[in-house]
């Protein structure tokens, strides 16, 4: 039995590795019949699924299956820093809901310690809702809930047994009231796709949502849910794209201006390539600016190269988008270098002098990233910003180490101050070698605790009754959990907590060749005095990267060769009795 399960998982993992180079169009998300399937695995309480590493998971609710949470471009978890409340939208379970396509939501008023199921959102009927997203609308920054709205949107099936084609949207006002109004289900032309995105203005009462249709991207806006505006803005039609991929995570608002980010191939650009771009409106969506994007391709910006492609599944890339305090856009994504076979979490962003790039972390391509029966979740890259946009954070799934046989995904986090040159050393939040972390999401807004302290809110699903180390399935009934993680933003933000290392190792620097900086990863299984030095080809020492006592863990050192000449350099690690050397190439 175990051999069959592992074989199936391996096949699913193979499906996950799809890059721009091999994908011509992004598929509709997978559909399901909504019926609850009795789990075939052992029953019982799974304590290890509720306390994992630095995270304590609190059970929120249950669904007929895990499909509703298992898409990379939805935002089911929302947090508002002014009323200090969290909300989670989800599909129902037929033990309490009219149907699994009926949407429900829960709220927490104590930062996720306890939760209350508020109400259904479909006007008492099933309505075949799928893959819902939600937000909390509080443009006035009120500290009481009287004028705060819970807003949502979702794709829907046209009917029982039918495919996607409609959308749902509505509001519960005020949040937590349990009296949702303005519910609308659109199925008239059956042209909408399998994804929606919804967000609220950060300075006014305006509310925005998106839905892709046969004729392009439809933009919706309202203030009161009485007057609903729907348009396909200029430049957003099907003729404007060679191929449209997806929204780049949830769209955002900053300074009273809505932003929409997409992953696509634009007509008139290099049609062999996919790119990332955004459009901004200065008048609440009445008109939109031209798509801003890296010239030709994001791969032309250091430290990237032309062998790199965005990574994901056939159902979408692993991409999210943030807008910082200065109104600059940051895309977070997973990428694959087809030459070195290296996989990375990367940042593509607007810098002071144009588009630029950073490597956040390297990831292990051996990591299992999908349910056994639902190959569409991927690296689960989700990003969040502080309320003022001065701090960014990102989470993703990755194995605990870079070892080829390490396959179980953990949850990782890194952060960056906007004025800092690099991302913090990533920290493994869960460190669960026998637990399959999956269906991960993060609220797009961080809680600011004062000073450099911030809290991120995370959600995930787990198959009810599945006992680790089983790899869960998406079809059986699923339980949803939420956890919080508090960290200190800055150059060493979460790097004070080293990850567990299985053996001494020195990794090949990345990127390589590089210009002018590169990163060197190394691991030590026991506390050691560590030195890493760099030498030129003649054996002359040119830099010392590390020279200190280190606790057991995995670390990253940065080498800046701005003042050195092109050529081959050698770097050497000494940790206790362990030594190793590797070559790297500086190419300016």
Residue 463: its pLDDT value, please? 87
Task: Tokens 């109004």: give the residue.
Answer: 181
Give the three-class secondary structure for 161.
Answer: coil
What per-residue confidence (pLDDT) applies to 71?
Answer: 84
Q: List, in sequence order, the alpha helices (H) in 430-552.
A: none
Q: How many whole angstroms separate alpha carbon 186 and alpha carbon 210?
A: 13
Distant-in-sequence, close-in-space partners of 271: CB < 8 Å, separation ≥ 6: 242, 265
Q: Are 315 and 325 in contact (CB under 8 A)?
A: no
Most trustworthy range by pLDDT among 122-131, 373-382, 415-424, 450-459: 450-459
What does residue 5 show for φ and ψ, rounded to 5 degrees? -60, -45
For residue 52, what pLDDT is reported?
A: 67
Residue 346: both structure tokens together:
């990367």
Number of alpha helices (DSSP H) and beta strands (DSSP E) in the chain: 1, 41
Would you place residue 6 in the very low, low, confident or very high pLDDT band (cuts 50, 70, 90)? very low
Going from N- to C-terminal start, the domains of the chain cover 2-461+477-488, 505-586
CA atoms of 164 and 132, how far apart (whole Å): 13
Q: Quick one: fold of 2-461+477-488?
A: Methylamine Dehydrogenase; Chain H (2.130.10)
User: Between 3.10.20.30, 2.20.25.90, 2.60.40.3080, 2.102.10.10, what CATH number should domain 505-586 receive?
Assistant: 2.60.40.3080
Q: Do strands 329-337 and 319-323 pair parallel, antiparallel, or not at all (unpaired)? A: antiparallel
Rounded to an integer, what distance in angstroms lies between the CA atom of residue 568 and that of residue 447? 45
Q: Token digits for 534? A: 């760099």
pLDDT value at 530 more than 80 = yes
Segment 276-288, tens digit of pLDDT = 999 999 999 999 9
Give pLDDT, residue 16: 32
More confident residue, 50 or 381: 381
HSE-up of residue 445 (Cα within 13 Å, Cβ side)? 29
Residue 13: pLDDT band by 50, 70, 90 thresholds? very low
Q: What per-residue confidence (pLDDT) applies to 189?
A: 56
Burial of 475: CB neighbours in 10 Å, binned 0-12, 13-18, 19+: buried
What confidence score (pLDDT) does residue 254 get? Answer: 95
The residue to which tokens 């050698």 are assigned: 570
According to the per-residue pLDDT averaged within each range, which of 51-55, 81-85, 473-477 is highest? Answer: 81-85
DSSP letters spanning 412-423: EEEEEETTSSSP
- CA 68: distance to chain centroid? 16
Does the pLDDT value for residue 78 go beyond 80? Answer: yes
Could you please report the per-residue DSSP string of 468-479? TTSPP-SSB-EE
The pLDDT value recorded for residue 161 is 56
Beta-bridged to residue 541, according to DSSP, are 535
Whether 83 has a pLDDT exceeding 90, the answer reads yes
Look at residue 434 in the predicted model and tell me its pLDDT.
Answer: 76
Task: For residue range 226-283, list pLDDT tens digits in order.
Answer: 999 999 999 999 889 887 666 655 689 999 999 999 988 888 886 556 889 999 999 9
DSSP 564: S
pLDDT > 90 in the chain, percent: 47
Task: For residue 352, give every residue at least 6 positions away whose Cβ sits within 8 Å of its Cβ, in sequence order, or none.
Answer: none
Mean per-residue pLDDT, 290-298 = 88
Q: Which of 121-130, 290-299, 486-495 has the highest mean pLDDT?
A: 290-299
Comparison of pLDDT for 72 and 133, the residue scoring more: 133
Banded model confidence at residue 188, pLDDT cuts 50, 70, 90: low
Contact criterion met (CB below 8 Å) for 77 and 442 = yes
More confident residue, 476 or 163: 476
553 vs 498: CA distance, rounded Å: 5
Higher pLDDT: 410 or 503? It is 410
Q: Is 5 helix (H, G, I), strand (E, B) or coil?
A: helix
Global pTM value: 0.80
CA nearest neighbour of 25 among 239, 236, 241, 217? 241
Lowest mean pLDDT, pick from 36-50, 140-154, 178-192, 442-456? 36-50
Query: Is 206's pLDDT higher than 50?
Result: yes
- The token pair that represents 273 in the structure block: 């390539």
State the Cα–Cα distance between residues 522 and 505, nearest whole angstrom. Answer: 6
Q: Quick one: average pLDDT of 350-368?
A: 89
Confidence of residue 43 (pLDDT cuts 50, 70, 90): very low
- For residue 166, is pLDDT > 80? yes
**Please, are residues 62 and 29 in contact by the beta-carbon 8 Å criterion?**
no
The pLDDT tens digits for 533-581 are: 999 999 999 999 998 878 777 788 889 898 999 999 999 999 988 999 9
Which residues make Cβ contacts (< 8 Å) with residue 521, sequence separation at least 6?
A: 362, 402, 506, 507, 510, 554, 555, 556, 557
CB distance 555 to 401 below 8 Å: no
Angle at 98 between CA 94 and CA 103, to 5 degrees: 90
The DSSP result for 371-400, as a single string, is BTTB---TT--EEEE-TTSSEEEEEEEE-S
Q: Please determine, for residue 48, whether its predicted confidence score (pLDDT) is greater than 50.
A: no
pLDDT of residue 315 exceeding 90: no
Backbone angles phi, psi at 47, to 5 degrees: -60, -40
**Tokens 């399960």 appear where?**
5
Mean pLDDT for the chain overall: 83
Residue 325 has pLDDT above 60, yes or no: yes
Q: How many CA within 13 A on the CB side of residue 475?
A: 13
Instruction: Quickly count: other Cβ atoms within 10 Å of residue 246's Cβ.
Output: 24
Calculate mean pLDDT across residues 327-335: 94
State how far the Cα of 441 lies from the Cα of 54, in Å rounded to an integer: 17
Domain 2-461+477-488 and domain 505-586 have a common topology: no
Q: Are 195 and 155 in contact (CB under 8 A)?
A: yes
Q: Which among 151, 158, 213, 160 is positioned nearest to 182, based on CA atoms?
A: 151
Strands 441-442 and 427-428 turn out to be unpaired
Mean pLDDT within 101-114 = 94
């Amino acid at each position: 039995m175990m051999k069959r399960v592992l074989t199936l998982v391996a096949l699913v993992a193979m499906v996950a590795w799809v890059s721009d180079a091999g994908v011509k169009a992004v598929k509709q998300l997978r559909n399901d019949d909504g019926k609850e399937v009795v789990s075939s695995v052992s029953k019982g309480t799974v304590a290890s699924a509720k306390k994992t590493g630095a995270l304590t998971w609190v059970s929120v609710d249950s669904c007929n299956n895990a499909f509703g949470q298992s898409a990379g471009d939805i935002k089911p978890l929302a947090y508002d820093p002014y009323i200090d409340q969290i909300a989670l939208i989800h599909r129902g379970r037929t033990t309490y809901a009219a149907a699994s396509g009926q949407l429900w939501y829960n709220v927490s008023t104590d930062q996720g310690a306890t939760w209350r199921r508020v109400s259904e959102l479909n006007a008492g009927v099933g309505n075949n809702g799928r893959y819902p997203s939600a937000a909390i609308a509080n443009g006035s920054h009120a500290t009481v809930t009287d004028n705060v709205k819970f807003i949502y949107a979702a794709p829907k099936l046209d009917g029982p047994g039918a495919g996607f084609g409609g959308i749902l949207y509505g509001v519960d006002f005020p949040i937590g009231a349990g009296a949702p109004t303005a519910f609308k289900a659109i199925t008239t032309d059956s042209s909408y796709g399998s994804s929606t995105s919804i967000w609220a203005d950060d300075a006014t009462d305006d509310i925005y949502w998106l839905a892709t249709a046969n004729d392009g991207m439809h933009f919706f806006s309202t203030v009161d849910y009485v007057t609903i505006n729907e348009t396909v803005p200029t430049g957003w039609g099907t003729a404007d794209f060679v191929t449209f991929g997806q929204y780049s995570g949830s769209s955002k608002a900053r300074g009273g201006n809505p932003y929409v980010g997409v992953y696509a191939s634009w007509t008139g650009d290099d049609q062999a390539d996919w790119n990332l771009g955004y459009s901004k409106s200065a008048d609440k969506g009445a008109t939109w600016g031209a798509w801003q994007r890296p010239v030709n391709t994001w791969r032309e910006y250091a430290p990237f190269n032309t062998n790199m492609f965005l990574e994901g599944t056939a159902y979408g890339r692993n991409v999210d988008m943030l807008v910082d305090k200065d109104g600059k856009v940051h895309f977070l994504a997973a990428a694959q270098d087809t030459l070195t076979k290296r996989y990375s979490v990367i940042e593509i962003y607007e810098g002071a002098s144009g588009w630029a790039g950073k490597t956040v972390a390297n990831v292990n391509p051996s990591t299992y990233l999908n349910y056994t029966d639902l190959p569409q979740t991927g690296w689960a890259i989700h990003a969040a910003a502080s309320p003022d946009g001065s701090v960014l954070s990102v989470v993703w799934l990755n194995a605990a180490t870079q070892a080829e046989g390490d396959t179980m995904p953990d949850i990782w986090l890194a952060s960056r101050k906007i004025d800092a040159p690099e991302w913090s050393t990533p920290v493994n939040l869960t460190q669960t070698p026998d637990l399959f972390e999956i269906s991960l999401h993060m609220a797009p807004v961080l809680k600011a605790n004062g000073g450099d302290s911030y809290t991120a809110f995370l959600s995930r699903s787990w198959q009810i009754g599945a006992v680790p180390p089983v790899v869960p399935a998406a079809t059986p009934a699923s339980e949803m959990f939420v956890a919080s993680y508090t960290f200190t933003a800055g150059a060493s933000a979460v790097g004070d907590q080293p990850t567990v290392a299985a053996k001494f190792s020195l990794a090949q620097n990345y990127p390589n060749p590089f210009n002018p900086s590169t990163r060197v990863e190394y691991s030590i299984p026991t506390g050691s005095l560590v030195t890493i030095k760099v030498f030129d080809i003649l054996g002359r020492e040119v830099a010392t990267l590390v020279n200190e006592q280190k606790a057991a863990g995995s670390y990253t050192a940065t080498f800046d060769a701005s003042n050195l000449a092109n050529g081959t350099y050698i770097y050497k690690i000494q940790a206790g009795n362990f030594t190793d050397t590797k070559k790297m190439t500086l190419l300016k």
